[in-house]
């Protein structure tokens, strides 16, 4: 069984390599007129989704005009995407901190929440007051992979959706328990950016991508080889991107240790000890893993005010500002 799975993965990678060569050849032989390029840069994500006939609802109590996505030399639009499928999203203080960090650190043009339901709860109401330019984009969860195979894990529905959202519109995808710590502008000059999770797997908790980026096109095709009932947790979502990044390094930039850190096995040190977070673009709180290991998550500002450890420093940095980090 293992040999058969490896053979199928080899065929998939061989096909993806052929496709990548074809995309590179076509790209180099297609001349885009300067006027068309300018139009593409100026047409923002909000315009693109309107043209896609999706239902959009503004959620923030105030809107703020932000800098255009067409900054000199930056390929990835400064637009944030979150994805939530399933039951209505009961917003937590941690979710609030995630959105607040995006607002304060990245100052995006738009923040889009893709899914069937609009979040609710006290901390959601606070978010709509404190964070501007949030929009809900109605989107149903995919029911099967691209080859018609059922998803073995419900999380794989979101994995496919986030990939296709960035592929279709461009921008930055974030998990809802990510906290942004510094500007992504140095990364937005690349067509596609992933972070490393383990030695043989990338993370999709953060994805930066230009609209129609070739690397994302290839990854999308990998879902035609989704294994259905025998699929592994990391297979198509994390291990295939890693394999493709090694074959096609010119198509993707991989951040080795600045996105998905700390990992789940460092959470106790992160929560109640000292963890060096000075180099991180963003930190992953791993909310579900934390609960599974008995680590309490903050429910209000009172919980972080005197929280000892690096996690307390980070949450105070976002909530109160840099002068209140202790």
How confident is the model over 244-267, as pLDDT tens digits?
Answer: 999 999 999 999 999 988 888 888
Sheet holding 253-255, edge to edge: 56-58, 134-138, 110-115, 79-84, 171-174, 201-209, 192-198, 253-255
pLDDT of residue 57: 76
pLDDT of residue 41: 31
Question: Which tops the pLDDT comparison, 265 or 148?
Answer: 148
pLDDT of residue 42: 34
Q: Nearest to residue 159, comparing CAs of 179, 176, 134, 142?
A: 142
Beta 192-198 vs 56-58: how paired, if at all? Answer: unpaired
Entry field: residues in the chain: 326
Query: Whole-model pTM?
Result: 0.85
User: DSSP label at 200?
Assistant: T
- CA dist., res. 240 & res. 235, Å (int): 6
Q: Nearest to residue 158, comparing CAs of 232, 83, 238?
A: 83
Between the CA of residue 66 and those of 108, 137, 141, 243, what are the distances in Å?
Answer: 7, 20, 30, 37
* Mean per-residue pLDDT, 277-296: 93
pLDDT of residue 29: 39
Residue 321 corresponds to which tokens in the numbers above? 């500002």
pLDDT of 296 above 70: yes
Residue 247 corresponds to which tokens in the numbers above? 């074959």
pLDDT of residue 32: 36
* 152 burial via Cβ count (<10 Å: 0-12, 13-18, 19+): middle
Question: Which tops the pLDDT comparison, 297 or 46?
Answer: 297
* Mean per-residue pLDDT, 207-235: 96
Residue pLDDT, tens place only, 94-118:
999 999 999 999 999 999 999 999 9
Q: Nearest to residue 80, comparing CAs of 180, 201, 159?
A: 180
Q: Give bridge partners of residue 199 from the DSSP assignment.
A: none
Mean pLDDT (the chain) is 85
pLDDT of residue 264: 84
Between the CA of residue 91 and those of 54, 122, 123, 135, 283, what are the distances in Å?
Answer: 24, 7, 6, 15, 19
pLDDT of 35 above 50: no
201: left (phi over 0), alpha (psi -120 to 50) or beta: beta
Beta strands in the chain (DSSP E): 56-58, 79-84, 110-115, 134-138, 171-174, 178-180, 192-198, 201-209, 253-255, 282-284
Residue 235 corresponds to which tokens in the numbers above? 């297979």
């Amino acid at each position: 069984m293992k040999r058969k799975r490896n053979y199928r993965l080899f065929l998939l990678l061989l096909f993806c390599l052929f496709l990548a060569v074809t995309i590179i050849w076509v790209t180099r032989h297609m001349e885009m007129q300067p006027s068309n390029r300018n139009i593409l840069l100026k047409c923002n994500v909000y315009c693109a989704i309107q043209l896609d006939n999706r239902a959009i609802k503004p959620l923030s109590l105030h809107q703020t005009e932000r800098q255009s996505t067409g900054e000199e030399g930056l390929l990835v639009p400064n637009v944030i995407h979150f994805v939530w499928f399933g039951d209505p999203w009961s917003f937590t203080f941690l979710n609030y901190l995630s959105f607040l960090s995006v607002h304060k650190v990245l100052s995006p043009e738009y923040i889009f929440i893709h899914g069937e339901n609009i979040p609710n709860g006290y901390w959601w109401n606070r978010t709509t007051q404190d964070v501007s330019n949030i929009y809900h984009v109605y989107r149903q969860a995919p029911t099967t992979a691209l080859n018609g195979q059922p998803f073995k894990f419900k999380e794989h529905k979101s994995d496919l959706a986030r990939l296709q959202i960035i592929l279709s519109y461009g921008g930055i995808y974030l998990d809802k328990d990510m906290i942004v710590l510094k500007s992504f502008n140095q990364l937005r000059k690349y067509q596609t950016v992933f972070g490393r999770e383990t030695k043989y797997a990338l993370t999709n908790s953060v994805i930066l991508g230009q609209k129609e980026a070739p690397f994302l096109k290839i990854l999308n095709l990998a879902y035609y080889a989704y294994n259905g009932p025998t699929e592994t947790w990391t297979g198509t979502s994390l291990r295939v991107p890693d394999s493709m990044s090694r074959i096609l390094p010119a198509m993707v930039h991989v951040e080795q240790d600045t996105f998905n850190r700390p990992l789940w096995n460092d959470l106790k040190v992160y929560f109640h000890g000292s963890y060096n977070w000075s180099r991180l673009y963003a930190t992953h709180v791993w909310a579900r893993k934390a609960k599974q290991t008995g680590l309490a998550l903050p429910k209000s500002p009172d919980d972080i005010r005197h929280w000892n450890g690096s996690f307390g420093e980070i949450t105070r940095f976002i909530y109160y500002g840099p002068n209140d980090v202790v």
